[in-house]
């Protein structure tokens, strides 16, 4: 498991793009990797955790910083990568 926290900037994107970009990024990561998704769409605080529950990823933290929201997740065993 990596100690590196990957970051994905989805600022200025509206639903469903933050979730789609998150899904695409997770496909490039390894099981156990962490990803912080930063967004200006407040719906991301619900949408990304819901996507994580459906796809077996763990939400470690969510929050708001000014006009931005973030979700920190840990990639589950099935990252959706196509081999």
**8 near 22, Cβ under 8 Å?**
yes
pLDDT in tens, 70-80: 999 999 997 77
Active site residue 15: yes
Question: CATH number of the domain that 58 lies in?
Answer: 3.30.110.40
State the first-to-last Cα distance of the chain, in angstroms, to the nearest integer.
20
pLDDT score of 78: 79
Order of strands, edge to edge, in the sheet holding 68-74?
Answer: 5-10, 34-39, 68-74, 58-65
d(CA 82, CA 25): 13
83 inside domain: no
Per the structure, the complete domain to which residue 35 belongs is given by 7-74
**Is residue 1 included in any domain, yes or no?**
no
| The pair of three-digit structure tokens given for residue 54, joined into one six-digit string | 């459906």
What is the C-alpha to C-alpha distance for residues 44 and 42, in angstroms, rounded to an integer? 5
How far is Cα 31 from Cα 67, in angstroms, rounded to an integer? 30
Q: What pTM was estimated for this model as a whole? A: 0.92
> Count of domains in the chain?
1
Residue tagged active-site, from 6, 9, 13, 15: 15
Over the stretch 20-72, which tens digit does the pLDDT of each residue have? 999 999 999 999 999 999 999 999 999 999 999 999 999 999 999 999 999 99
**C-beta separation of 5 from 59 below 8 A:** no
């Amino acid at each position: 498991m990596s100690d590196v926290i990957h970051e994905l900037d989805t600022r200025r994107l509206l639903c469903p793009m933050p979730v789609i970009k998150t899904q695409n990024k997770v496909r490039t990561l390894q099981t156990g990797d962490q990803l912080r998704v930063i967004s200006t769409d407040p719906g991301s605080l619900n949408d990304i955790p819901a996507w994580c529950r459906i796809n077996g990823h763990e939400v470690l933290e969510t929050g708001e910083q000014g006009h931005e929201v973030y979700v920190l997740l840990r990639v589950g065993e099935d990252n959706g990568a196509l081999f």
